[in-house]
């Protein structure tokens, strides 16, 4: 790694600099001490040049393989659609680069396991998946409430996603680009797993009600990924989970409810965190200490792990494999009309 003003500078190469990268990551990285974005590769050289000009990035690569092989890159951020996550991540690791890949780890659980196997061959390198946003802004307080016995024994969980109803990103709706991923199903499962442990079985029904879509250029295309999914699942601890995600239902509201023997907790997109103990007449807002009002800073954790050698907490490749297995189990169950056991047998 290079050094600037006594700081070890982590030189980042970006493969896939789309809207999320340009809106959230690049502006933040430009303000970070010891982080320098030095290279970019996009779907076209023209689009890579536009990003490079906007953010003053020195190197523009025609194709991603030359970027991940560059001796001037220490870490690779994979911001592409899921169809490239495995190939870019494995190539980067094999070239001695740390890897941060966007959520929806891969196209399938098999691809995710390939990525994990590669990461295990390079234990000196940091390999991380961008974590879910579903619980990130109350990261500490929810586990603390559950650990303190607020709900008692957790009996069931109800989680609803909004399914990116207003998204014009066609890749989210096409299997050849997203694989088994659908809407936010995998990330919702990741949130549940992080709070309560792994899943043991999945039973699902899916529907595609609106196959004709329009992309960001207002062009019509045909979607082949479901836009409504209903899941009944069981955790290894015995808790029952009802998961629903839809991009077609009207006024969808993201919500997580945890029902226990002594109380109920709810996290929703409009009111924040609510709770009620046995005997309370209704759910009421729960105070969240200021120090707990933060989102998972996935990129800061990534860079700290590189510098300090600390393990990735949110989200490791092992965690990513689990949520890819869940997502694939949802698809399999909906196809065969039977419950699917987890973990999947490779």
- The pLDDT of residue 269: 73
CATH architecture group of domain 136-277+325-341:
2-Layer Sandwich (3.30)
Q: Give me Rg for the CA atoms of the chain.
A: 21
Q: How long a stretch of residues is the chain?
A: 346
| 3-class DSSP state of 156 | strand
Is residue 51 within 8 Å of 22, Cβ to Cβ?
Answer: yes
- The pLDDT of residue 4: 38
Q: What is the sign, positive or negative, of the torsion defined by CA atoms of 166, 168, 171, 174?
A: positive
Q: Do domains 2-132+297-316 and 136-277+325-341 have the same CATH topology?
A: no
- The pLDDT of residue 343: 96
- Through-space distance between the first and last CA atoms of the chain, rounded to whole angstroms: 38
Q: Who contacts 23 (Cβ-Cβ below 8 Å, separation ≥6)?
A: none
Is residue 151 within 8 Å of 145, Cβ to Cβ?
Answer: yes
Residue ranges of domains in the chain = 2-132+297-316, 136-277+325-341
**Which secondary structure element, helix H or strand E, spans residue 127, and what is its range?**
strand 127-129
Homologous superfamily (CATH) for 2-132+297-316: NAD(P)-binding Rossmann-like Domain (3.40.50.720)
- The pLDDT of residue 135: 59
- The pLDDT of residue 254: 82
* Entry pTM: 0.89
Q: For 246, list phi and psi in degrees, rounded to 5.
A: -155, 140
* H-assigned helices in 197-316: 298-308
Per-run averaged pLDDT (10 residues), the chain, 346 residues? 56 92 89 93 92 94 96 96 97 97 94 98 95 66 91 96 66 90 91 93 95 80 91 97 88 84 90 90 85 63 90 90 96 97 92
Rounded to 10 degrees, what is the CA torsion of 288, 149, 296, 175? -120
- The pLDDT of residue 290: 61
| 3-class DSSP state of 104 | coil
């Amino acid at each position: 790694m290079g050094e600037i003003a006594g700081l070890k500078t982590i030189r980042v190469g970006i493969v896939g600099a789309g809207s999320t990268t340009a809106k959230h990551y690049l502006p933040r990285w430009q303000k970070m001490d010891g982080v320098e974005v030095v290279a970019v590769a996009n779907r076209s050289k023209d689009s890579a040049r536009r990003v490079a000009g906007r953010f003053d990035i020195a190197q523009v690569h025609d194709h991603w393989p030359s970027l991940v092989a560059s001796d001037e890159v220490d870490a690779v951020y994979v911001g592409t659609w899921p169809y490239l996550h495995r190939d870019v991540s494995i190539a980067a690791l094999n070239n001695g680069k740390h890897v941060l890949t966007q959520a929806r780890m891969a196209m399938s659980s098999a691809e995710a396991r390939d990525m994990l196997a590669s990461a295990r061959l390079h234990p000196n390198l940091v390999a991380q998946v961008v974590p879910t946003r579903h619980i990130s802004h109350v990261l500490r307080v929810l586990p603390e409430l559950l650990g303190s016995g607020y709900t008692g024994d957790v009996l069931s969980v109800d989680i609803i996603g909004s399914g990116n109803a207003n998204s014009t990103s066609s890749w989210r709706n096409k299997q050849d680009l997203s694989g088994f991923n659908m809407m936010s199903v995998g990330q919702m499962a990741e949130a549940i797993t992080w709070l309560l442990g792994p899943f043991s079985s999945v039973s699902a029904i899916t529907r595609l009600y609106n196959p004709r879509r329009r992309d960001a250029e207002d062009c019509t295309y045909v979607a082949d990924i479901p836009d409504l999914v209903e899941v009944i699942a069981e955790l290894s601890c015995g808790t029952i989970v009802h998961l629903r995600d839809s991009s077609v239902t009207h006024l969808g509201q993201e919500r997580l409810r945890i029902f226990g023997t002594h109380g109920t907790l709810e996290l929703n997109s409009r009111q924040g965190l609510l709770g009620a103990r046995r005997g309370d007449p209704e759910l009421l807002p729960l105070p969240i200490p200021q120090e707990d009002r933060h989102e998972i800073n996935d990129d800061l954790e990534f860079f700290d792990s590189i510098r300090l050698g600390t393990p990735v907490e949110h989200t490791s490749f092992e965690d990513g494999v689990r949520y890819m297995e869940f997502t694939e189990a949802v698809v399999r169950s909906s196809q065969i009309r039977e419950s699917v056991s987890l973990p999947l047998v490779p």
